[in-house]
Amino acid sequence: MYWVTNATAFFQNYVGNGAQSAVKILISYYRFFHPDDTLELAFMPASVQEMLRGLDMYDPAFGAAFYEGTWNQNFNHAEALQKIQCPVLLIQADTSFMEDGTLNGAMSEEMAERALSCLSDGTYIRVNAGHVTNLEIPDEFTKIITDFLLDKNKNPIN
């Protein structure tokens, strides 16, 4: 409930104005009647459903590592990517930068370019979708994955 209470922008963007208060009430009722069940609010957009469904299992230390900047500590991404010997598909969804310069997304286009330059066989696909791409554009996502796998199966790397 802490996150739901403090995620005003998320609910405005993904559900609409005023939805945050309604969601808090619905979660309280759901928890009262289903205290041991995974939260299910089926009428919410898929990305919101997934976010709410997973919060019970979320480890705050995971999020703190991003906030504190320790997530990548002692890990060399370029070195790890250069060791990959199989085809890699990088699907990048919409990203933006917040007013304070914080990246709102998993990686910027520049980061994606750097990652691809480290791979021996990387394919890049840009899609117009949000954070939960497979739920927001499921048909397009499935086609991208299927086409990539079929193409790689025709021309396997030995």
Chain segment 24-34, per-residue pLDDT in tens: 999 999 989 99
* pLDDT at residue 3 in the model: 83
83-122 residue pLDDT tens: 999 999 999 999 888 888 888 888 899 999 999 999 999 9
How many Cα atoms are found within 13 Å in the side-chain-facing hemisphere of 155? 6
Characterize 23-39 residue by residue with b for buried, 16 or more Cβ atoms within 10 angstroms of its Cβ, and e for exposed.
beebbeebeeeeeeeeb
Q: Percent helix, strand and coil across the chain, each rounded to 5?
A: 55, 10, 35
Instruction: Give the residue, 67 or 138, on which the prediction is more confident.
Output: 138
How far apart (Å, rounded) are the C-alpha atoms in residues 152 and 130?
26
pLDDT band at 156 (very low <50, low <70, confident <90, very high): low
User: Is residue 158 over pLDDT 60?
Assistant: no
Query: Does the pTM of the predicted model rise above 0.85?
Result: no
Please report the beta strands in 14-151, taking only residues with DSSP state E, as ranges in sequence order: 88-92, 96-97, 103-104, 122-126
3-state secondary structure of 154: helix
**Terminal alpha carbon distance of the chain:** 50
State the Cα–Cα distance between residues 40 and 73, nearest whole angstrom: 36
